[in-house]
Amino acid sequence: MAKRDYYEVLGVGRQAGEDEIKKAYRKAALQFHPDKNPGDAQAEEKFKEAAEAYEILSNADKRARYDRFGHQGVDQGMGGGGGGFSMEDIFSQFGDVFSDGSPFEGFFGGGGRGGRRANRGANLRIRVKLTLEEIAKGVEKKVKVTKAVPAEGVTYKACATCNGSGQIQRVTNTILGQMRTASTCPHCEGSGQMVDRRPPGVDPDGLQRKEEVISVQIPAGVVEGMQLSVSGKGNAGRNGGQPGDLIVLVEEEAHPHFKRDGNHILYDLPVSVVQAALGDQIEVPTLDGRARIRLEPGTQPGKLLRLKGKGLPAVNAYGRGDLIIFVNVFVPTKLSKDEKETLEKLAASENFKPTNADNSGKSSFFDRMRDFFQHD
Per-residue pLDDT of the chain (376 residues), as tens digits, is: 568 899 999 999 988 998 899 899 988 888 887 767 777 888 888 888 988 999 899 888 888 888 888 887 776 444 444 445 544 444 444 544 444 444 333 334 333 333 444 578 889 999 999 999 999 999 999 999 999 998 888 888 888 888 888 888 887 776 656 677 778 788 777 778 888 888 888 888 889 999 999 999 999 999 998 989 898 999 998 777 789 999 999 999 999 999 999 999 999 999 999 999 999 999 999 999 999 999 999 999 999 999 999 999 988 768 899 999 999 999 888 989 998 888 888 888 888 877 644 554 444 555 655 566 555 5
The radius of gyration computed from the CA coordinates of the chain, to the nearest angstrom, equals: 31
* Best CA proximity match to 192, nearest among 166, 154, 155, 168: 166
- Going along the chain from its start, the domains and CATH numbers come out as 1-112 (1.10.287.110), 258-374 (2.60.260.20)
* Best CA proximity match to 197, nearest among 154, 158, 149, 239: 154
Separation in Å, CA 326 to CA 177, 265, 298: 83, 11, 15
Q: For residues 374 and 372, give the distance between their C-alpha atoms in angstroms, rounded to a whole number.
A: 6
Q: For residues 310 and 264, give the distance between their C-alpha atoms in angstroms, rounded to a whole number.
A: 8
Q: What is the pTM of this model?
A: 0.58
Q: Are 6 and 53 in contact (CB under 8 A)?
A: yes
